Amino acid sequence: MMNISSTAMILAAGFGKRLGDITKNTPKPLVSIGDTCCLDISVNALKQAGFKRIIINTHYLAEQIEAYVKCYRDVEIILSHEEVLLETAGGIRKVLEEFGDKPFVVINADMYWQDTNPSVIHRMAKGMREMDDFCLCVTPLENAQGHPGKGDFVFENGQMRKPTESDSVQDRYVYIGVQLVNPRIIAPLKIEPLALPGLYAKALQQQSLKGCIFEGTWIDVGSIEGLTLARNLSA
């Protein structure tokens, strides 16, 4: 099993524009889903996986997240505020030193998910190789509730590749927002706005992007449809 960092990160800095007025006064990670919210769900999943230290990046309505995280008593929360939104890769680069030299977990804060037991994170650590830059947790497209896309990847001969028009729905997988990141792929970057997909594309070309299939419930709550699905499930 890959020896990973004991510090994890939750990406919580985005605007949540697809949710319209719902995120006008509330950051997306704190939008209510029954008696919980996406931030609670991801923090609890990390705690159950054994993490005691979590970095959360902030930008939009950051003061609300800063106030909210005071409710977490049994985990150390480190806030990384971004005056300028650094996007996913830039936000990770800003706090890279916090993870040491080990691969580390990064989770999105815009999803409703019920992690498996044991956590899928442990399966990811077991499957990631030293040569891999990323291990992405993916779910079959047909199980990706509330997700508007046509699938991010296809598994072929144990490797992931981008889908083509000829690939069937059954062969397509969606990245759910849980990943292991090798620090060496982030270290050369500058602390500036940069998204991760470009790095995924490079890793695909170099066959250093690993995948791990998620078998639990996952809903993309970045849209009104997905948020409604999650709220109905939690009712």
In a domain, 103, yes or no: yes
- State the amino acid at position 212 in one-letter form: C
In a domain, 221, yes or no: yes
Q: Hey, what's the torsion of the CAs at 18, 19, 25, 28, to 10 degrees?
A: -90
CATH code of the domain covering residue 158: 3.90.550.10
In a domain, 2, yes or no: no
* Nearest partner of 49 among 104, 95, 115, judged by Cα: 115
Supply the range of the domain harboring residue 144: 7-234
Q: Does the predicted TM-score (pTM) go above 0.85?
A: yes
Specify whether the CB–CB gap between 153 and 175 falls below 8 A.
yes
Q: How many domains does the chain have?
A: 1
Q: How far apart are CA 33 and CA 113, in angstroms?
A: 12
In a domain, 164, yes or no: yes
Render each residue's pLDDT in the chain as its tens digit; 235 residues. Answer: 789 999 999 999 999 999 999 999 999 999 999 999 999 999 999 999 999 999 999 999 999 999 999 999 899 999 999 999 999 999 999 999 999 999 999 999 999 999 998 999 999 999 999 999 999 999 999 999 999 889 999 987 767 899 999 999 999 999 999 999 999 999 999 999 999 999 999 999 999 999 999 989 999 998 999 999 999 998 7
In a domain, 137, yes or no: yes
The residue to which tokens 């709550």 are assigned: 221
Write out the two tokens for 206. 């170099």
In a domain, 170, yes or no: yes
In a domain, 166, yes or no: yes
